[in-house]
Amino acid sequence: MGDGVCVNGLLRQHWAGFTDDEGNKVAPETYLVTINSPMKVLHGGLGGSIIQDKLGFEKSVGINLSYSFHASLSFADVGIGAGVSLMNHSIDFSKLKPEQSGDPILLSSEQGAMIFDGNLGIFVKTEDYYVGLSVINLLESHGKNLSTSDNQVVRYKTDRTLFLTGMYRIFLTNQDYEIDPGFMIESNLASTQYIISTNVRYKDRFYAGVSYRFLESVGVMVGVKFRDFNISYSYDINTMRYGMPGSHEIGLSYCFKIKGDHSKTSYKNTRYL
């Protein structure tokens, strides 16, 4: 729903440096690249993303494609979106070490499954605020069945997850400073996470903020915008009582407008020279 093409990249190392008893790096990691652009001919916009998630000896690599229909109402701009995702989940069972050897439930090699699913969402924005509601893994698709040594069946399954997010923009008297308090609620109906945050922007170029993930972590973030580039860094401090290390996240983005040929054609005549 922006004015041009935006390419974004994100690298997150959750619980950086966390290892298991054998020294294996099992901390969660996320790598993400997205691109989106308005498409007037389609009365909306198109977007796509490539994501890789690592969690211990489990890895997910996926592609997402989406379209949103845009409408300008009297009170706000509205985007209604739908998307599809294709995700490859895999687990290297050979690296799992059960306390008792010969566990019949565990497989002995790396196994994977390709899963197709769908996503829906609606987004409402004005100059002062935005609010969005979305659901991913709408179909709760299942991967292929994997048989263990004692003929039990193991299979991959996606979780239907709801997201509610919002932000309100507050301009101070001199208009150089802007305060953006926001929130996000994430739930798969079995567990729910609550996040609140506040960012402070200066002349729409420098910004810093703080966030709180309920009962889990406090995050601090700084960033700068230079022309069409944007770079940010955040660090999460764990508030759980498990002695977990902190988390790093780096974000990069580049947005640009596609300009047509606006060159002027001139006609010269000796009469006007």
Give the 3-state secondary structure of residue 64.
strand
Q: What pLDDT does residue 69 have?
A: 98
In this structure, are residues 28 and 15 in contact, taking their beta carbons and an 8 Å threshold?
yes
Q: What pLDDT does residue 113 have?
A: 84
Q: Could you tell me the two tokens for 111? A: 């196994």
Q: What are the boundaries of each domain within the chain?
A: 5-97+105-258
The CATH superfamily holding the domain 5-97+105-258 is: Outer membrane protein transport protein (OMPP1/FadL/TodX) (2.40.160.60)
| pLDDT: which is higher, 1 or 107 | 1
The string of DSSP letters for 81-106 reads EEEEEEEEEEEEGGG---SSS--TTS
What percent of the chain has pLDDT above 70? 86
Rounded Cα–Cα distance for residues 35 and 65 (Å): 10
72-81 pLDDT, tens per residue?
Answer: 999 999 999 9
Q: Which of 50, 4, 2 is nearest to 30 (CA)?
A: 50
Rounded Cα–Cα distance for residues 237 and 248 (Å): 10
Beta bridge partners of 35: 7, 48
DSSP state of 216: T
pTM surpassing 0.75?
Answer: yes
Q: What pLDDT does residue 74 have?
A: 92
Q: Could you tell me the two tokens for 23? A: 């020294």
Is residue 17 very low, low, confident or very high in pLDDT (cuts 50, 70, 90)? confident
* pLDDT(222) > 80: yes
The length of the chain is: 273
Phi/psi at 20 (nearest 5 deg)? -90, -175
Q: What pLDDT does residue 37 have?
A: 95
Q: What angle do CA 81, 9, 225 make, to 5 degrees?
A: 100
Q: What pLDDT does residue 34 have?
A: 97
Name all contacts of 254-259 with Cβ < 8 Å and 24+ positions apart: 254/6, 254/7, 254/228, 254/229, 254/230, 255/2, 255/4, 255/5, 255/6, 255/7, 255/228, 255/230, 256/4, 256/5, 256/228, 257/3, 257/4, 257/5, 258/4, 258/5, 258/37
Q: What pLDDT does residue 272 have?
A: 41
Owner of token pair 């996040």: 195
Q: What pLDDT does residue 168 have?
A: 97
Is residue 31 very low, low, confident or very high in pLDDT (cuts 50, 70, 90)? very high
| pLDDT: which is higher, 268 or 44 | 44
In this structure, are residues 197 and 214 in contact, taking their beta carbons and an 8 Å threshold?
no
Q: State which of 42-51, 150-159, 249-258 shows the largest mean pLDDT.
A: 42-51
145-173 pLDDT, tens per residue?
Answer: 655 555 555 677 889 999 999 999 998 87
Is residue 227 very low, low, confident or very high in pLDDT (cuts 50, 70, 90)? confident
Q: What pLDDT does residue 270 have?
A: 45
Query: Average pLDDT of the chain?
Result: 87
| pLDDT: which is higher, 110 or 230 | 230
96-141 pLDDT, tens per residue?
Answer: 777 666 666 667 677 778 899 999 999 999 999 999 999 999 999 9
